[in-house]
Amino acid sequence: MAADRGLPIFAAFTGQKLCDLRVSSSDSLRSIKLKLQQELQIPVREQRLLPVHGAVTNLAVGEWRIEEEEKWDMSTPAMVLIRLNPDRQKALEAVSSGMSMRELSEDLRRDRDIVLAAVSRNGFDLQYAGGALKDDKDVALVSVQENGLALRYAAPEFQADREVVLAAVQHSGSALRYAGDGPRADREVVLAAVSNCGTALPFASDALRADRGIVLAAVHESGLALRSAAPQLCADKSVVLAAVRQDGLALSFAAPSLQDDREIVRAAVAETTVALCYASAALRADPEFAVAAAALQSDVDSSDSSSHAGSLQEEADGRAE
């Protein structure tokens, strides 16, 4: 059987003793709050309990960290009760349900718990954070983890912070545009960005836009990223081939020598026949290549027709069922 004991409850700031609450080792923080609600008529959602460590005259020491359902420490000599503003609790519940912080008063937008709850649902709410909370790294991290583009609203120090920027670009590579110079020159950060958004390449440093591994990762995700590659890589056959296979129109950014390369142009035209416009004049005037391109176009059209016919048949079969 769990032993009962009296737990003194004091008011924060004044030190006034509010009650001696009968508790046992089987009580959780939640059950203690429910007893306080019955004893003091203070709703559970308006209670914050802090353990007292040492003299009762030094009441607000530390923060109560246990979960609501976790058993409390019987050795705690007393607890301090802070009564929370009911408006604050309503605001916390509202933003936790998806309401934007822009609807809240400036005072409530300076509340760390409210801001964290808001940005964990909508990272863009970082722009409405008040006071010093825009300078809180945890708030910035939670924001960009929810939406990488929230980096736009982070303080400059966090736009230059490797950890924050890496979290942002892992969620949305295009967030690299809001990063400071340091992260833009960081190979791991840029690789993470271009791997999920190739068109983030122009926001990388000049040195990394000349990095073959970085550019290959970018063009594999978006062939048009070739536009931002260093000139020597626009003349690299392997890089350009990877780009045009992903998007044939990347041929327009290839070096002239590769726009005259039959393998490169054939791969580009296989992806989209519009790419033929960017082949060299010599290739476009070559009768043999024109025949090959026309045959390739016929193959593409045939494949598209077969795919379309298959889709229609599947739709018809579905209706028949």
Q: For position 57, what pLDDT does the model report? A: 38
Best CA proximity match to 204, nearest among 215, 190, 218: 190
Task: Answer for the pair 135, 157: CB distance below 8 angstroms, yes or no.
Answer: yes
pTM exceeds 0.75, yes or no: no
More confident residue, 13 or 60: 13
Q: For position 27, what pLDDT does the model report? A: 83
For helices 112-121 and 86-96, angle between their N-to-C axes, nearest 10 degrees = 20
- Confidence band for 203, pLDDT divided at 50, 70 and 90: very high
Average pLDDT over residues 143-161: 98
Give the range among 93-107, 210-224, 259-273, 284-298 with minimum mean pLDDT. 284-298
Residue 283's identity, in one-letter code, is: L
Q: For position 55, what pLDDT does the model report? A: 42
Q: For position 317, what pLDDT does the model report? A: 56
pLDDT value at 309 more than 70: no
pLDDT value at 313 more than 60: no
pLDDT value at 279 more than 60: yes
* Domain range 4-84, CATH class: alpha beta
Q: For position 56, what pLDDT does the model report? A: 38
pLDDT value at 54 more than 70: no
More confident residue, 40 or 62: 40
Average pLDDT over residues 256-273: 94
- Confidence band for 5, pLDDT divided at 50, 70 and 90: confident
Give the range among 17-26, 102-111, 179-188, 296-305 with minimum mean pLDDT. 296-305
Q: What angle do CA 312, 314, 316 make, to 5 degrees?
A: 70
Distance (Å, whole) CA 233 – CA 2:
73
Q: For position 49, what pLDDT does the model report? A: 85
Average pLDDT over residues 38-44: 90
Which sequence spans correspond to the domains of the chain? 4-84, 85-209, 221-300
Report the mean per-residue pLDDT for the chain.
86
More confident residue, 297 or 287: 287
Q: For position 271, what pLDDT does the model report? A: 93
Spatial CB neighbours of 293, under 8 Å, sequence gap ≥ 6: 266, 269, 273, 276
Q: CA torsion sign, 23 to 27 to 28 to 34? A: negative
Q: For position 63, what pLDDT does the model report? A: 39
CA 13 to chain centre: 40
- The predicted-structure confidence for 235-259, as pLDDT tens digits, reads as follows 999 999 999 999 999 999 999 999 9
Q: Longest Cα pair distance anywhere in the chain, in angstroms?
A: 98
Q: For position 50, what pLDDT does the model report? A: 83
Task: For the chain, give the percent of residues with pLDDT over 70.
Answer: 84
pLDDT value at 71 more than 60: no
Q: For position 30, what pLDDT does the model report? A: 87
Q: For position 286, what pLDDT does the model report? A: 86
- Confidence band for 220, pLDDT divided at 50, 70 and 90: very high
